[in-house]
Chain A
Amino acid sequence: MALRGRRRPGPELTASLTGGAPGLPAPSELELGRRAYRARRSRRSTGVALVSTLVFAVVAYLVVTRSPGWPRVQTTFFSLSVGRDAFPSILRGLWLNLQVLLIGGACVVVLGLGIAVLRTLRGPAFAPLRLLATGYVDLFRGMPLIITLYLVGFGLPALRLQGVPNSPFVLGTLAIVLTYSAYVAEVFRAGIESVHPSQRAAARSLGLTHRQTTRIVVLPQAVRNVTPALLNDFVALQKDVGLISVLGAVDAVRAAQIYVGQTFNFTPYVVAGLLFVLLAVPSARIADGVAARARRRQQSGSVL
């Protein structure tokens, strides 16, 4: 990944927390007082957060379970037995979603990066390419994903062209890649533009060609700048892969749907939904962590 190799130890930080770096003078009364105050304050805000969360949870629980329709809702949406029966086939479907996610995600990065680079090319010779890339982004960023899915999933096979696959898995992935590449291209482009022109000047003055400059100097910095935003898009992609079900691919959503159709119980949807959430949580935490690290790097130690 782009963030490789920049991990730095923070001896100052750990030392100030444990208060005992060798060679550091013993903390003064003043500093001890400040530390005690900070600790008190953080204990208090943790307490407030805990209590308010608890109160909210209890209230929400009571309101829902005391509602007149609750018994019915419980049996149709939260039936343990139906959930257990549906679980294996939904999980098998989720494996398909995961494949779409990984293959599609990789394609999105490559295509998005390519389009972003095309959009930043200067000079009249590249005008047609630039125009094409801009048109692509405008089209697929504006088009609702569901419509792209229908057009690609049903329109493309209808052409009956030689060699066009008609598996909903392939076509669904293609539609998702088309849409997401447009978004990701814009993220990359913002990253490329965030690298100061003086970096380019420095690289060119060393004799690097335009291409080398882009590849060795600009893109690595651009990618590093936009990694948090990219991870955010990845989390969004994670749930949108569930949309391939509209093409008939038997993914987690479709598997749940089949089950719902048989039992008239909506619990399988809840199961599928929770599985998607579980899938998203690690990526969301990684995204948070990366964003926090990027922030730290920019401020290098400031508390604000």
Chain B
Amino acid sequence: MSAVLDVRGVVKAFGDNVVLRGVDLSVDEHQVVALIGGSGSGKSTLLRCASLLETVDDGQVLLDGEDITDPRVDADAVRRRLGVVFQAYNLFPHLSVLDNVVLAPTRVHGRSRADARDEALTLLGRIGLADKAGEYPDRLSGGQQQRVAIVRALAVHPRVLLLDEITSALDPELVGEVLRVVREVAAQGMTIVMATHEMGFAKQVADTVCFLDAGVVLESGPPEQVLGDPVEPRTRQFLSRIIDAGRL
């Protein structure tokens, strides 16, 4: 079975700063992959390359076998098949929660408003926010906003969900409610790639953990192995720093 998302030798530089130096990453259907690595190691950049928010400088990204880094590909059509959730939520402040969620299904996927609305309300109900549907984003807590952002990404039925450190802007007591939603989505079989600093969560939910360092995937494998008994000294070093910070 071929991978849903296949990153092959991706290179990305900002000026002189070569952030990705040939990253390989393959994500199968229903798999959850956690990207870990120090700050500035390029986790966000990799996810932005995969969602075509950045153009790669070399290498390929395949989505369901199709090379989406080919300039002849319709980037909008590709993004329609992806769901992205950002660290800073990025909800649209001038639209209500419900309108945030139904925007893409109605405007991009051509679904009827009633239909999209029903599904949006179901999804919002599942994360306990159905009563906030008419509210504007700035009246919600950070955790609530981030859960809405997840629902907004799910509402287009993406092939793969890309999550970029979605809990790092949140107060510790709000992290749990967001991770609970991710866990549920993963349990329903969604294919997920997530950059995260929550090692405990990666351990529970991820099928594969990839350690990104110096622009390459230095080590990857099941969470018990990568997080519990890493082969590479750099991985050990990174993890011991994390343990010192009390996050594992």
Which A residues contact B (CB, under 8 angstroms)?
A: 6, 198-199, 201-209, 212, 216-217, 220-221, 224, 300
Contacts and interface: CB of A to CB of B under 8 A. Distances in A.
A209 B107 CA distance: 10
A283 B236 CA distance: 66
A203 B38 CA distance: 28
A158 B92 CA distance: 52
23 contacts: A6-B136, A198-B88, A199-B92, A201-B53, A201-B86, A202-B86, A204-B53, A204-B76, A205-B79, A205-B84, A206-B79, A206-B156, A207-B76, A207-B77, A207-B80, A207-B104, A207-B109, A208-B76, A208-B103, A208-B104, A216-B103, A217-B92, A221-B94
Contact of B92 (A202, A204, A209, A300): A202
B99 to A, nearest CB: 10
Interface residues of B, number: 26
A212 B107 contact: yes
B90 A198 contact: yes
A221 B93 contact: yes
Contacts of B51: 205
A207 B105 CA distance: 10
A207 B79 contact: yes
Nearest to B92: A217
A126 to B, nearest CB: 17
A209 B74 CA distance: 10
Given A198-B86, A202-B86, A208 B107 contact: yes
Nearest to A210: B76
Binding site secondary structure of chain B: loop
A221 B138 CA distance: 14
Contacts of B152: 206
A202 B108 CA distance: 14
Contacts of B90: 198-199, 201-202
Contacts of A199: 90, 92
A207 B79 CA distance: 5
Interface string B82-114: 101010101111100000000110011100000
A199 B93 CA distance: 9
A56 to B, nearest CB: 43
A61 to B, nearest CB: 50
Nearest to A209: B76
B107 A216 contact: yes
Contact of A206 (B93, B104, B138): B104
A177 B156 CA distance: 43
Contacts of B80: 206-207
Nearest to B108: A207
A199 B108 CA distance: 17
B65 to A, nearest CB: 20
Q: Pick the 7 closest A-B CB pairs, nearest first.
A: A207-B80, A202-B90, A205-B84, A206-B104, A207-B108, A207-B79, A220-B94
Nearest to A297: B138
Interface in B23-55: 51, 53
A270 B136 CA distance: 49
Given A206-B152, A220-B94, 14 more contacts: A198-B88, A198-B90, A202-B90, A205-B82, A206-B80, A206-B84, A207-B80, A207-B81, A208-B103, A208-B108, A212-B107, A217-B92, A221-B92, A221-B93
Contacts of B136: 6
Interface string B108-138: 1100000000000000000000000000101
Contacts of A204: 53, 76, 79
A4 to B, nearest CB: 10
A295 to B, nearest CB: 15
A274 B35 CA distance: 69
Contacts of A201: 53, 86, 90
Contacts of A207: 76-77, 79-81, 104, 108-109, 156
Contacts of A209: 76
Nearest to B139: A8
Given A208-B76, A212-B107, A203 B92 contact: yes
A205 B44 CA distance: 14
B108 A224 contact: no
Nearest to A217: B92
Nearest to B53: A201
A253 to B, nearest CB: 41
Contacts of A6: 136
Nearest to B88: A198
Contacts of B53: 201, 204-205
Nearest to B89: A202
Contacts of B156: 206-207
A300 B137 CA distance: 13
